[in-house]
């Protein structure tokens, strides 16, 4: 929409001091970020037993935010030398090196031969954005393929970098699992050499992850199609509790010799949300290319914000490079992931104990911080209005917000709101079940839920 200069100002050209300034009159209210909007609504609610199942920030069993002990120990060691810009470069390099080891594996060839270009980034968002800008710069006509659904901000990130997006099938709403056949079809049908965004573990928002076998098939197909896989690694450690296990998808792609990119975030797995620490890395042919690519990435970030803040970088670098602190961190990640797994089991049991006829298997099948509940928009709204339980409109529940104290209440509330379309859902489930048991060709299960198509 072209706004003429005259309209834009909407003032007379007199030099009277009482002239009205209306520079910003045409600026409209931006849509609220859907995830933050949930938090806003939650904060505005005066109800004392309200529950926030919106944003994916870990809470302990008391519902309180957690500062990890490993973070406190690292902080104690850092001190004020942090602020000297002379040490910044060294610390940043250390962060990149340690982050790369964490995701690609200490013993991988990529690490040994230093065949990667990396820069610290402003958590996962920042890493994705720098990559999107880099992709636009060197592949100006390319698009990006997102899984359907994906984190709501992905579209904004690549959008603001002027890279158009498409989706590939991912979530199967009936099985609440992976729609593997359709996924492979879409990967096959995409033009050769397309860019794909993949969640290597703990998919956000669905919690649905491919199995290792499925990842291998995806990797093979990617190889055939020459696609470029870009991994958004926001939950390494949070899916299974084990950082090595959660990196499997990437290791599989590495084994197949793919050139890949990774956006790593330490917001969740180190509880460093507000510090904005992450890393963007891109695999290269050799050290020389790595230097060139790094210089381009740096240039992009220099015009956006310079460099990420040193405090967070120092913390992560210290945690990953100090063996004792790292060991402590790995224990703490396991504790967080285990608590979430326990809450999943507890919530599902509670719903089943209440006699809900609906199928709640997906609560424990899905992985990571989020559960794609299958609740409708109307049900989500009802949960907020009547029960003061807040989640995003797509029915995504942040399991981190569930505690032993509130899990029964949450189960009861979900049971209540789903009671109204109980009949429809029972019929639906019966129908679906029938389809699943019909197995003329003996084809292999693709949903990951145990149902056979």
Catalytic residues: 151, 232, 268
Task: Decide whether 257 or 357 has the Cβ nearer to another protein.
Answer: 257
Name the minimum Å distance from CB 194 to another protein: 11
- The piece of 119-127, 202-210, 350-358, 410-418 that touches another protein (CB under 8 A) is 119-127
Question: Per CB under 8 A, which region of 155-163, 235-243, 318-326, 350-358 contacts another protein?
Answer: 155-163
Burial 23-40 (b: 16+ CB within 10 A, else e): eeeeeeeeeeeebeebee
* Residue 135: closest CA among 286, 5, 293: 293
CB nearer another protein, residue 295 or residue 420: 295
Structure tokens at 32: 């609220």
Binds another protein (CB under 8 A): choice among 90, 164, 223, 439: 223
Ranges within 250-269 binding another protein (CB under 8 A): 256-259, 267
Choosing from 184, 239, 347, 391, the residue that interacts with another protein (CB under 8 A) is 184
Classified as helix, coil or strand, 344 is helix
Q: Which is nearer to another protein, 131 or 387 (CB)?
A: 131
Residue 200 to residue 235: CA distance in whole angstroms = 9
Taking CB under 8 A as the criterion, the residue among 45, 139, 190, 244 binding another protein is 139
Instruction: Determine, following the binding rule CB under 8 A, whether residue 72 of this chain makes contact with another protein.
Output: yes
Name which of residues 45 to 64 contact another protein (CB under 8 A). 55, 57
Contacting range for another protein; rule: CB under 8 A; set: 8-16, 238-246, 334-342, 373-381: 8-16
> Considering CB under 8 A, how many residues would be counted as binding another protein?
108
Contact present, 167 and 187 (Cβ < 8 Å): no
> Smaller CB distance to another protein: residue 130 or 363?
130
The candidate with the shortest Cα–Cα distance to 407, out of 353, 336, 367, 333, is: 353
Is residue 203 near another protein by the rule CB under 8 A? no
Asked whether position 71 contacts another protein by CB under 8 A, the answer is yes
* Residues near 435 by beta carbon (within 8 Å), at least 6 away in sequence: 453
For the CB of residue 225, give the shortest distance to another protein in the complex, in Å.
Answer: 8
* Burial category of 450 from C-beta neighbours within 10 Å (exposed 0-12, middle 13-18, buried 19 and up): exposed
Toward another protein, which CB reaches closer, 310 or 343?
310
Taking the complex as a whole, how short is the minimal distance between the CB of residue 262 and another protein, in angstroms?
Answer: 14
- 297-336 residues in contact with another protein (CB under 8 A) are 298-300, 302-312
Which pair of tokens denotes residue 217?
Answer: 């098939």
According to the binding rule CB under 8 A, does residue 65 interact with another protein?
Answer: yes
- Tell me the window of 291-299, 318-326, 370-378, 393-401 that interacts with another protein (CB under 8 A): 291-299
Distance CA 423, CA 406 (A): 27
Work out how close the CB of 353 gets to another protein at its nearest, in angstroms, rounded to a whole number. Answer: 34
Report the phi/psi class of residue 138: left, alpha or beta, with left for phi > 0 and alpha for psi in -120 to 50.
alpha
Interatomic CA distance for residues 365 and 345, integer angstroms: 10
CB of 264 to another protein, least distance (A): 15
Task: Decide: 63 and 404 in contact? Cβ < 8 Å.
Answer: no
> Which residue among 46, 324, 438, 444 contacts another protein (CB under 8 A)?
444
What is the distance between the alpha carbons of residues 249 and 196, in angstroms, rounded to a whole number?
Answer: 14
Q: How far is the C-alpha of 178 from the C-alpha of 413, rounded, in Å?
A: 27
**According to CB under 8 A, which one of 47, 291, 327, 335 is a site residue for another protein?**
291
Give kind and range of the element (H or E) at residue 292: helix 287-302
Neighbour-count burial of 276, counting CB atoms closer than 10 A to its CB (0-12 exposed, 13-18 middle, 19+ buried): buried
φ/ψ (deg, to 5) at 286: -160, 180
**Which residues share a beta bridge with 264?**
233, 279
DSSP state of 139: S
- Indicate whether 67 belongs to the interface with another protein (CB under 8 A): yes
Residue in 47, 84, 90, 327 binding another protein, rule: CB under 8 A: 84
Residue 433 backbone phi and psi in degrees, to 5: -60, -40
Residues 341-380 that bind another protein (CB under 8 A): none
Q: Which of 37, 41, 190, 221 binds another protein (CB under 8 A)?
A: 221
**Cβ at position 200, least distance to another protein in Å:** 19
For another protein, which is the closer residue by CB, 171 or 387?
171
Q: Cβ 79 to another protein, closest distance in Å?
A: 9
The single-letter DSSP state of residue 276 is: -
Question: Does 274 participate in binding another protein (rule CB under 8 A)?
Answer: yes
Nearer to another protein, 265 or 373 (CB): 265
Vertex 86: Cα angle to 80 and 92 (nearest 5):
85
Number of H helices, E strands in the chain: 18, 13
């Amino acid at each position: 929409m072209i706004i003429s200069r005259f309209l834009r100002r909407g003032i007379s050209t007199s030099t009277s001091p009482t002239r009205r300034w209306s520079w910003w009159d045409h600026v409209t209210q931006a849509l609220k970020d859907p995830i933050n909007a949930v938090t806003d609504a939650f904060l505005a609610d005066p109800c004392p037993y309200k529950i926030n199942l919106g944003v994916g920030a870990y809470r302990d069993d008391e519902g309180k935010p957690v500062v990890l002990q490993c973070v406190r120990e690292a902080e104690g060691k850092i001190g004020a030398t942090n602020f000297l810009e002379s040490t910044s470069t060294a610390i940043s390099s250390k962060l990149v090196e340690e982050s790369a080891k964490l995701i690609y594996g200490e013993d991988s060839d990529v690490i040994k031969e230093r065949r990667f270009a990396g820069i610290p980034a402003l958590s996962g968002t920042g890493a994705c954005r720098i990559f999107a800008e880099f992709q636009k710069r060197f592949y100006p006509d390319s698009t990006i393929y997102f899984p359907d659904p994906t984190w709501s901000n992905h579209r904004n990130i690549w959008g603001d970098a002027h890279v158009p997006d498409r989706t590939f099938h991912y979530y199967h709403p009936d099985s609440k699992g992976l729609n593997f056949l359709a996924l492979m079809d879409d990967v096959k049908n995409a033009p050769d050499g397309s860019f794909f965004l993949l969640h290597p573990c703990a998919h956000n928002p669905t919690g649905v992850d491919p199995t290792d076998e499925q990842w291998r098939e995806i990797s093979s197909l990617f190889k055939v199609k020459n696609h470029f896989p870009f991994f958004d690694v926001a939950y390494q450690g949070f899916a299974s509790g084990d950082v090595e296990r959660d990196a499997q998808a990437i290791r599989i792609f590495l084994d197949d010799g793919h050139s890949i990119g990774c956006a790593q975030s330490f917001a969740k797995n180190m509880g460093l949300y507000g510090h904005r620490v992450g890393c963007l890395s891109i695999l290269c042919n050799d050290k020389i290319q790595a230097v060139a690519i790094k210089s381009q990435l740096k240039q992009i970030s220099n015009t956006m914000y310079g460099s990420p803040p040193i405090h967070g970088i120092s913390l992560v670098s210290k945690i990953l490079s100090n063996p004792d602190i790292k060991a402590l961190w790995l224990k703490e990640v396991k504790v967080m992931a285990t608590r979430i797994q326990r809450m999943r089991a507890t919530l599902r049991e509670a719903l089943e104990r209440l006699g809900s006829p609906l199928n709640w298997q997906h609560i424990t099948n899905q992985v990571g911080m989020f559960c794609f509940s299958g609740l409708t928009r109307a049900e989500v709204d009802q949960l907020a209005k009547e029960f003061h339980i807040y989640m995003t409109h797509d029915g995504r529940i942040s399991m981190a917000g569930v505690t032993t104290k509130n899990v029964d209440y949450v189960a009861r509330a979900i049971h209540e709101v789903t009671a109204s379309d109980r009949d429809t859902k029972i019929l639906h489930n019966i129908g679906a079940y029938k389809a699943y048991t019909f197995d003329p060709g003996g084809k292999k299960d693709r949903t990951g839920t145990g149902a056979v198509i």
